[in-house]
């Protein structure tokens, strides 16, 4: 698929990996509509030359209205990039007792259910194209306190093949990217010392990932029609202990 004929939605596109992806696609000649609930979403979209819709990815009506806005603005849709999500930390059994069910369900609802909700509704609005979802290395190397997060991200990785099989007749590919440790505003808030410690575990290059590198892979997935039904790790050979 040509990037200049790409008409994409990017969820979570107002910050972090989503923001980098939205900008990279617009800069390459694609039309992009950002789906986000952040107050800065509309301003960021205007700044990079994208469209914007305030969308809650977990809500069917909200996504449907956002998709209609995107279709009206761009004249069609052939790509959806799901970057919306949350990171949570809570042990299965901690000092204060068992993992709260509410926090587990919230993580699954936003990360996994939200991704699937956008995928199913976007697929219905597409005539051919590609769905790109954001998993995580936590799907395979989950750490202490990541039971909910790892479950949500392994679910996203697990969607790739069956959804690709389901949507083959519609000419829609399905891929996922499993990023390692990337320099995002959320990570930067932890401070340089923490970031340096995390970067030390990366095999090569020994640094945090740049969101632009994630965006570059998403662009390649969009352009490479033979990529389908799998999850690509983007992590500098990082394997979490």
**Active site members:** 149
**DSSP states of 215-237:** HHHHHHHHH-TT--SEEEEESTT
Ramachandran angles phi, psi of 186, nearest 5°? -65, -40
Cα-Cα-Cα-Cα dihedral sign, residues 176, 180, 185, 190: positive
**DSSP states of 195-219:** HHHHHTT-SSS-SPBPHHHHHHHHH
Q: Which residues pair with 9 in a beta bridge?
A: 33, 80
- Convert 190-207 to b/e letters by CB count within 10 Å (16 or more is b): eeeeebeebbeebeeeee
């Amino acid at each position: 698929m040509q990037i200049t004929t790409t008409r994409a939605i990017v969820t979570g596109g107002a910050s972090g990996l989503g923001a980098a992806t939205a900008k990279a696609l617009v800069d390459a000649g694609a039309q992009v509509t950002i789906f986000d609930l952040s107050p800065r979403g509309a301003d960021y979209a205007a700044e990079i030359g994208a469209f914007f819709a305030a969308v809650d990815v977990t809500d069917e009506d909200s996504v449907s209205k956002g998709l209609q806005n995107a279709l009206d603005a761009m004249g069609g849709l052939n790509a959806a990039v799901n970057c919306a999500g949350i990171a949570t930390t809570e042990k299965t059994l901690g000092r204060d007792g068992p993992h709260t069910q509410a926090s587990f369900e919230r993580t699954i609802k936003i990360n996994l259910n939200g991704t699937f909700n956008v995928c199913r509704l976007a697929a219905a609005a597409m005539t051919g194209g590609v769905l790109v979802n954001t998993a995580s290395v936590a799907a395979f190397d989950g750490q202490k306190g990541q039971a909910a997060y790892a479950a949500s991200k392994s679910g996203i990785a697990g969607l790739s093949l069956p959804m690709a099989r389901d949507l083959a007749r519609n000419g829609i590919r399905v891929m996922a990217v499993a990023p390692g440790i990337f320099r995002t505003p959320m990570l930067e808030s932890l401070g340089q010392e923490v970031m340096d410690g995390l970067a030390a575990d990366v095999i090569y290059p020994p640094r945090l990932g740049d969101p632009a590198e994630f965006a570059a892979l998403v662009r390649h997935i969009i352009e490479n029609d033979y990529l389908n039904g799998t999850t690509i790790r983007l992590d500098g050979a990082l394997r979490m202990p």
